[in-house]
Structure 1
C-alpha cells in the first residue's frame, strides 16, 4: 500500500501525462486507459478517472473508512505536438515495463514539457504552407493556385501566431485567418492578367483552419462512450467553422467595397479533378506537411505520405466504381488504422502520429464549411446546406469508425503473428529472433549490472 505522499505524486504524474495526451489530440478513451495503466503499475490499483474536454480528475480511496485522494487538472493548451507526444509515449512504455521508477519518470516528464523543439518556428510556418499547397494540388489547382495557397497559409499562420501571443480567443483568430485567406485571393483575382476560380483558391487557403479533425475526434469519443467530451469537441468544431465563415464574408465585403467583382463564392466545390494520381500526390504532400508542422519525428514523414496516398487511391477508386462516397472512405480509414498500428511499432511512434496526418486529406472540413454557409443564407439554399452537413457527418463517422476498427483488428493480428513466429522459427539464416524480455528478466539483468 502506497504512503500518502507517494500516492499523491503518483496521481499527479498520471494527470500530467493525461493532460499532454489530451491536448495533443488523443481520444478520451485512450487517455483514460493510459492513466489507469500507469497508476496500476505504480501501485495505485483501480483508481477513478474522469476525462472531459477541459479537465481531468483522478481519485483513489485506500480504505472505505478513510477519505479519498482527489486531484483535478485543467487542460489549457491544445497545440498538437507529436514530438512531445512521442517522448511521453516512450516514457509510458518504460514505466509499464518496469524500467523507470516514479521519481525518474516525473523528472523525465518535466524535462519533456519544459524543453523546446529542435525544429525552428519558421520551418513550421513553411510546413503549413506546403500543406495548403498540397491541398490545392489535390483539388486540381494549377501552379498559380498552389502558389497562392502556399503564400496565404504562411500569412495565416503568422497572423494567428501573433494573435495567440496576445491571448486573443480562438474564435477571433479563426475570423482573422478566414479574412486573410479571402483578401489574398481577392487581391490576386483583381489583377488584370489573372483568371482564377475564387472558390478553388479559398478552399485551398482555408483548409488549415477547418475543423475536420475536431469533428472526427468528437465522433470517435462518441463511439467510445465519452459523450460529454464528444459534445464539447463538436461545439468547438462548429464554432471554429463559424469563425471562418465570418472572416471569409468580411473579406468578400472588403473586395466589394473596392470594386472587385467576386460573385457567388462556393468553397468546397473545387475545380474538375485531374485524376487519382494527382490527388494521391496532393494527399501525400498534405499529410506529410501536416505531420511536419505538428513536430512529428522526421523518420515518420515518408511513411505518412505513402499511407495517405494509398488511402486516397482506395477512397477515390471506390467512389469511381459506384460504391458511393461513405463506404470507400470507411475502407480507406480501415486501411490507415490497420497499417498504422504495425508501422508505428517499427518507427517507435504512437499510432496517433501516423493516423491523424494520414486522414487529414480525407477530412470533411470543406463540407462542414459549405453546409454552414448555405444554412446561413437561408431560403432554397438551406436544404442544400443541411445535406452538406449530413454528408460531412457521414464522412467523419466513416473515418472514425474505420480507424477504430482497423486498430481493433491490428492488435490481435500482431499478437498472433508474434506467437506464430516464435513457434515456427527454427535455425534462421537471416534476421535475429529476439524474444521480448519479461519483467523478471529485466530486473535480474539490472541486479547483475549493479552487482
Structure 2
C-alpha cells in the first residue's frame, strides 16, 4: 500500500509540472524556459533526475525511482494556443511561490486549475478596440497619413472579429489567415472604387501586419539558439503556412476586385518612411496596444510603450547612418533585453511579457510576406528578402537573450543554473532548490 501511495504522490507531482508546462508553452514561452520550469518543479518536490521532453505540440515527463522499478511517464498535448499574458503572469507567480515553499503542491494544483478554467480578464469589445489601435500604430510606423491610420484601425478591428468567429468554428488557422487577407484587400478594392486618394499597397500592408507571423519566427530562432531544433523547425513551418495563407487571401481579394472591374496593383511590403518622432510614437502605440490585447496586466502597459519607443529610436537612428537592418535590430533588442529585466521585476511580471510586446514593432513579418510574395511570382529577389527577414529575426532573438543574460544577477547559484539549463530565463525561476526533508 505504501508503494501505491508513493506512486500516487509521484503522479501528482508530474501532473502539476505538466500542467504548468502546458500553460507556459501555449502562451508563447520558449521550449528552454518550459523545460527549465518543469525540471525545477519536479526537483523541488523531491523527484530527482526527471526527464523532460518538450516539442511544439507535446510535453512528456518521465521518472524512475530506481533501476528495479518501472518508469513512470506522463504526457500532455498542446492543442490550443492563445497568448494570454495574464495567465502567464499568474502561472509564473504560482511557480515562484511553490519553489519558495509559500504554497503547497495541492494549493498550486488548485490554483492552476482555477487559472486554466477562468476566462479572460477583459471584455471582447476592449480587445477589438485594442486590435484597431494596434493597426493604427503600425500604419503610423509605415508612414501612413490620417486616412490610412483610420482605415488600418477599422481593418484591424474587423479582422480580429473575423478571426475570433472562425476560431469558434474550429477551422484550421490557415483558413483564418486567408479570410484576413481577403478582408484586408477588400478594403483596398473599395477605396480604389471610391477614388479615395490613398496608396492601396500601404492600406493592405497596414491591415495585414498583425496577421504576419514574425513573432513565431522569433520563437523559432530562440528555440534554435537554445538547442531545441525540432521545436524550432515546427515553429518555422507554422510561420510559412500562416504567411502563405495571407498571400492566398490577398490574391483572392485582388481577383474578386478584378472580376468587379476594379484594378488594384499591390506592391508587396510597401511602406513609407517616417521620421524619428513618428517612429517612436508608432512603436509605443503598437507595443502598448498589443500588450493590452494580449491581456497583460494594466500596470505594465505604459512601461512597455515607453520601452518600445526607446527601442524604436535605437533602431531608427543607426539605420539613418547606414547601419544594416540586422545590426540595428540587434542593438535595439539588446536594449530591450537589458531594460526589460528591471521593468519586469518592478511591475512583477515575467520578462517574456515585456520583451514580446516591445519587439512587436521590430518584427520581420513584413519581410517574410514580401519574400514569399516575390517567390510566388517567380522573382528570385524574394530569396534576398527572406534572408533579410531571417537575419533580423536572429538579431532580435539573440540580442534580447544577450541583454537579458547581462542584466540578470551573476550570483554563484545563477551561474550554476545557467550552465545546467543553457540560457537565461524569460519566464520561470532563476534558482531551483530541493525541498528539505
TM-score if structure 2 supplies the norm length?
Answer: 0.92
Instruction: Provide the rounded CA distance (Å) in 1 between the counterparts of 2:55 and 2:374.
Output: 32
Structure 1 residue 189 displacement after superposition: 2.1
Counterpart for residue 434 of structure 1: none
Q: Is the 8 Å Cα contact of residues 268 and 373 (structure 2) preserved in structure 1?
A: no
Trace 1:285-434 onto structure 2 (pairs within 5 A).
285-378=285-378, 381-382=379-380, 384-412=381-409
Output aligned runs, 1:35-434, within 5 Å: 35-192=38-195, 194-263=196-265, 265-271=266-272, 273-378=273-378, 381-382=379-380, 384-412=381-409
Q: Report how far residue 10 of structure 1 moved.
A: 0.4
Distance 2:31 2:255 in 1: 41
Structure 1 residue matching 2:28: 3-state secondary structure? coil
What secondary structure is seen at the aligned counterpart in 2 of 1:412? coil
Structure 1: distance between partners of 2:408 and 2:210: 32
Structure 1 SS opposite 2:128:
helix
Per-residue Cα deviation, 1:39-65 (whole angstroms, up to 9, x for no partner):
111111220000000010000000011
Between the aligned partners of 2:192 and 2:384, the Cα distance in structure 1 is 30
Question: Does the CA-based 8 Å contact 1:200-1:267 persist in structure 2?
Answer: no
Conserved? CA contact 1:124–1:292, under 8 Å: yes
**Equivalent position SS for 2:324:** coil
Offset of residue 412 of structure 1: 2.5
The count of residues paired between Structure 1 and Structure 2 equals 414
Give the superposed CA RMSD.
1.8
Aligned mates of 2:145, 2:210 — CA distance in 1: 19
Per-residue Cα deviation, 1:210-252 (whole angstroms, up to 9, x for no partner): 0100011101100000000000000000000000000000001
Look up the SS of the partner of 2:409 in the other structure.
helix
Structure 1 residue 205 displacement after superposition:
0.3
In structure 1, what is the Cα distance between the partners aligned to 2:189 and 2:406? 48
Deviations 1:277-316 (A, max 9, x none): 1011001000011110000001000000011110000011
Question: Could you say what secondary structure the match of 1:391 adopts?
Answer: helix
How far 1:274 sits from its partner (Å)? Answer: 2.8
Q: TM-score, normalised by structure 1?
A: 0.90
Following TM superposition, the consecutive aligned residue runs of length 4 or more in structure 1 with deviations greater than 4 angstroms are: none
Separation in 2, partners of 1:258, 1:269:
24
SS of the counterpart of 1:50?
Answer: strand
